[in-house]
Amino acid sequence: MRWLSIGAVAVGLASFVAAIDPIEVYGNKFFNRDGSQFFMKGIAYQLRPDDPLIDTEQCRLDASLMRELGANTLRVYHVDPEADHDGCMEAFADAGIYLMIDLDTFDTYILPTTLTWNKTMYDRYAEVMDTFHGYDNVLGFFVGNENIATRTDSPAAPFLKAATRDMKAYRDGRGYRSIPIGYTAADIKELRPMLQNFLTCGGNSSESVDFFGLNSYSWCDPSTYESSTYDQLQEYAENFPVPIFFSETGCIVPGPRIWEDQEAIFSEPMVNHWSGAIVYEWIQEQNNYGIISYGPRVDDLSRNDETVFDGWTRKGTPTPKSPDFDNLKTRWATISPTGISKSDHDTNTLSTRACPSSTEGGWWVVNGNVRLPTIGEVMTAPFETVSSVTPTSTADTGDDPAESDDNNNDEDNGALVAKSTLWGLVFAGVVMGACLWI
């Protein structure tokens, strides 16, 4: 019953939230309602662990500076579906800003160490969707973020795909707008391109992700298309079946950032295949990725109130961090890709991806045609494969999954390792009830 009342409220508020046209996916691109292509210039935004979208005044202050920065998208990792988000969603809509929201919470995250996609998790994801589907500036939902990041993690992939299948069915069953649902991956060279291919293979769009986001920190200014290995990311992204974009980017080593990666992403050849980038992150905190600050570091680490948490002020007037903020603003101001119009977008040019096979002794141990788990089903790797499902294509990505002799230095990249570790700490902290936040 609950979804009925929540649904009614959401439909009601859609009528008074500021007019902003919803974005749709067609082929492998995002499109505005007028048929022009939409590219993300995004920022990761999580002022607080539980939900940054409940303090309207704060959202207004931030939205105003984000507009000045030239951002049109936010990425939010955790929200509280019970809270009231009208004020913040309207503040961002007024500033022309869309949101990508993770459906999982700290305790419903799909863990490679506990292979399950069960009713508790499903209900929680559904609750977030119920709460947010009515806002026209919701750009997409994530079923997971970096769930697969180490050598032993790939068995979680069928569970991520099962979550995608079930949330798409839930969305369509409720009659919600076709808000795209996808996954955001850690950029691990040993998992390329198997993970992105697995999530889009099999020829059944009811089970495939609607988009694929890549968290990549491999471009550290100064760099180049080749030495950043963007050329390899590009190779795997060419004519990808669904929109693909950078769901986190912005290496801080050695810093300051001059954002030349944005230049690469928004120019040929990448701009023809990628849908933009989300920069990590808005608030300056312990990890040092922020582009704004709300005040100086606070010495008292135990302080946890409305304003301060974990030694950082998280409320008030945002002050640009120099020179990263201005560098990004200047960079984005020079970038305005036109892309392609929806009517000119020929979806026949898209590739289809073969389901990857497992690589012996490698990072990818899931045979592509595994039967996806049902809700609550206990499955242990290696999974049975479904012989009746055949990949629809030929997947000519020109790549040998076993080959990993590229020169990507993710694992050596302090930025990526540091941040992954931080996220690991977040989850570990929550599991331990320590309420730890980066």
Ligand X SMILES: *[C@@H]1O[C@H](CO)[C@@H](O)[C@H](O)[C@H]1NC(C)=O
Whether 146 is catalytic:
yes
Helices (H) then strands (E): counts for the chain: 10, 15
Q: Rounded to the nearest whole angstrom, what is the least distance from the CB of residue 112 to ligand X in the complex?
A: 12
Q: Rounded to the nearest whole angstrom, what is the least distance from the CB of residue 165 to ligand X in the complex?
A: 5
Give residue 382's identity as a one-letter amino acid code.
Answer: P
Decide if 266 contacts 337 (C-beta within 8 A). yes
- What stretch of H or E contains 246? strand 244-249
Q: Rounded to the nearest whole angstrom, what is the least distance from the CB of residue 352 to ligand X in the complex?
A: 15
Q: Going by C-beta distance under 8 Å and a sequence separation of 6 or more, which residues neighbour residue 59?
A: 52, 53, 87, 88, 91, 92
Residue closer to ligand X by CB (options 109, 332) is: 109
Decide if 91 contacts 64 (C-beta within 8 A). no
How many CB atoms neighbour CB 102 within 10 A? 20
Give just the sign of the alpha carbon dihedral 6, 11, 16, 20.
positive
Residue closer to ligand X by CB (options 349, 387) is: 387
Identified catalytic residue from 207, 248, 260, 285:
248
Q: Using CA atoms, how far apart are residues 239 and 207, in angstroms rounded to an integer?
A: 19
Q: Going by C-beta distance under 8 Å and a sequence separation of 6 or more, which residues neighbour residue 340?
A: 29, 37
Q: Using CA atoms, how far apart are residues 389 and 274, in angstroms rounded to an integer?
A: 29
Q: Where are any strands of DSSP class E within 56-153?
A: 73-76, 98-102, 138-145
Which residues are at the interface with ligand X (CB under 6 A)?
114, 116, 118-121, 165, 204, 206-207
- Let me know if 391 is exposed, middle or buried by CB neighbors in 10 A (0-12, 13-18, 19+): middle
Q: Rounded to the nearest whole angstrom, what is the least distance from the CB of residue 428 to ligand X in the complex?
A: 15
Cis check: omega of the bond before 281, within 30 degrees of 0 = yes
Residue closer to ligand X by CB (options 56, 118) is: 118
Whether 268 is catalytic:
no
Could you give the maximum distance between any two Cα atoms of the chain, in Å?
Answer: 61
**Which of 157, 169, 166 has the alpha carbon at shortest distance from 197?**
157
Q: Rounded to the nearest whole angstrom, what is the least distance from the CB of residue 388 to ligand X in the complex?
A: 9
Identified catalytic residue from 90, 127, 146, 260:
146
Size (the chain), residues:
438
Residue closer to ligand X by CB (options 68, 107) is: 107
Give residue 110's identity as a one-letter amino acid code.
Answer: I
Query: Catalytic residue positions?
Result: 146, 248
